[in-house]
Amino acid sequence: MTAKPPLRIVLCAPRGFCAGVVRAIDTVETALQIYGPPVYVRHEIVHNRHVVDALKAKGVVFIKQLAEAPAGDRPVIFSAHGVAKSVPEEAKARRLFTIDATCPLVTKVHREAQVHHKRGRHVLLIGHRRHPEVIGTMGQLPDGATTLIGSVDDVEALAFAPGTELAYVTQTTLSVDDTQAIVAALKRRFPTIAAPPLEDICYATTNRQEAVKRAVAEVEAVIVVGAENSSNSQRLREVAERAGCALAVLAPNAAAIDWPRFAGVRSLAVTAGASAPEFLVEEIVAAFAERFAVAVETMTTAQEAMFFPLPRALREAEVG
Ligand code: SF4
C-alpha cells in the first residue's frame, strides 16, 4: 500500500453561518414547532440546497411568489435576503400571516435607501442584478428612484441632470475590494454623493473575505464550501483568486470536488460561505483525509459575537 501524500489543511475562521442565516433558519424551525407544518417560505430561506432540503423534509413548502401561498392562517416567511415593499403589501391585502426573516443588516440598507429617497436623493445601489437582495432593496423605492451599478464602467456611464442629488447604498455580500473601487469612482465623479453612515457590506462578508485573504498567503489552493447561487460564497472564491491563489474553487459538497486538480497540492485552505452548514466543511475535510495524510489547523482572523433575536411575531408567540 502506498503512503498517502501529506496535506496541510488550514481552516479559515470565521467561516460559514452568519448571524442572519442562523436567525433565518431558527425562524423557520421555531415556526414549525409553534404552528406545525406546513410552513410556507417565500424564496430559498438561505442559498443552500442542504438547508432547504432538510427544511422541506420537516414540512416547509418553498414558494417563489406569494400567490402560491394558500389563504388561511398558515405562516408565510420571508427569507433572509429581504423583499420588495410590494410583497408585504400584497400579503396584507390577502390577510396572510407573515413572518419576516429578513436579516436586520439588510433591513438597515432598506432604511438607508428610504431616508435618502425622502431627502430627495436619487439612490445608486451597488450590487448584482437579479440577486434577491438587490430586488428587495430596489423594491423599497418607487420605480426609477434607484439605479443599479455593478462596476467602475457602470459609474463612468452614469449621466444625471445638473443639480441631481445622489446617494449610494450597497448589497451586503459584495467583494470589499471591488466595492471600494466602485465607491472611489463614484466619489471622483460625484464628490457630494451621500455615503452610508456605516459600511453596508456586512461584518460576516468582511470577516470571511479577510480570513481567506490571509490564508491564501500560506497555501497553494482554496476550497470555498458554498452554493453556486450564494453571492458571498462566489465572492470568497474571487477574493482568493485575486489574492494570488491559482486553484480557488467553489464546492457545494465533497461529491463535487474534482480530485485530479488537487493531486499535487500540499497545502489547502478551506472556508465556507455564510449560508453553508459546518457539516459540509467536515465532510470535505474527511474526504481529503481519505486521500491525503492531513494535518488540520485553524487560522483565526476575527472573533464574531453577533446575534439577532427572532422576529417579534415568534418571540410573542413563544411567550404567549
Ligand atoms: S451575510 Fe450578512 S447581511 Fe447576509 S444574512 Fe448574513 S449577516 Fe445578514
Choose among 34, 19, 22: nearest CA to 319.
34
Residue 70: what pLDDT? 93
Query: Would you say the CB of residue 232 lies under 6 angstroms from ligand 1?
Result: yes
Task: Tell me what the pLDDT averaged over the chain comes to.
Answer: 96
Residue 124: what pLDDT? 98
Query: Would you say the CB of residue 137 lies under 6 angstroms from ligand 1?
Result: no
Spatial contact of 268 and 242, defined as CB atoms under 8 Å apart: no
Ligand 1 binding pocket mutation candidate from 202, 234, 304, 307 (most atoms within 8 A of CB): 202
- Could you tell me which residues are beta bridge partners of residue 77? 41, 99
Query: Would you say the CB of residue 202 lies under 6 angstroms from ligand 1?
Result: yes
Residue 68: what pLDDT? 96
Query: Would you say the CB of residue 124 lies under 6 angstroms from ligand 1?
Result: no
Spatial contact of 252 and 299, defined as CB atoms under 8 Å apart: no
Q: pLDDT for 247-280, tens place per residue? A: 999 999 999 999 999 999 999 999 999 999 999 9
Spatial contact of 212 and 240, defined as CB atoms under 8 Å apart: yes
How close is the Cα of 105 to the center of ligand 1, in Å? 6
Q: What are phi and psi of 310, to 5 degrees?
A: -65, 160
How close is the Cα of 9 to the center of ligand 1, in Å? 26
pLDDT tops 70 at residue 51: yes
Whether 133 is catalytic is: yes
Residue 1: what pLDDT? 65
Share of the chain above pLDDT 90, in %: 93
- Could you tell me which residues are beta bridge partners of residue 46? none
pLDDT tops 90 at residue 122: yes
Ligand 1 atom index nearest CA of 103: 8
Query: Would you say the CB of residue 103 lies under 6 angstroms from ligand 1?
Result: yes
Query: Would you say the CB of residue 134 lies under 6 angstroms from ligand 1?
Result: no
Q: pLDDT for 148-163, tens place per residue? A: 999 999 999 999 999 9
Query: Would you say the CB of residue 173 lies under 6 angstroms from ligand 1?
Result: yes
pLDDT tops 70 at residue 320: no
| Active-site pick, 29, 44, 90, 133 | 133
pLDDT tops 70 at residue 307: yes
Cis amide linkage into residue 70, ω under 30° from 0: no
Atom 2 of ligand 1, nearest CA residue: 202
Straight-line distance from the first to the last Cα atom of the chain, in angstroms, rounded to the nearest whole number: 64
Residue 65's pLDDT band, with cuts at 50, 70 and 90, is very high
Q: pLDDT for 89-120, tens place per residue? A: 999 999 999 999 999 999 999 999 999 999 99
pLDDT tops 90 at residue 214: yes
How close is the Cα of 16 to the center of ligand 1, in Å? 11
pTM recorded for the entire structure: 0.94
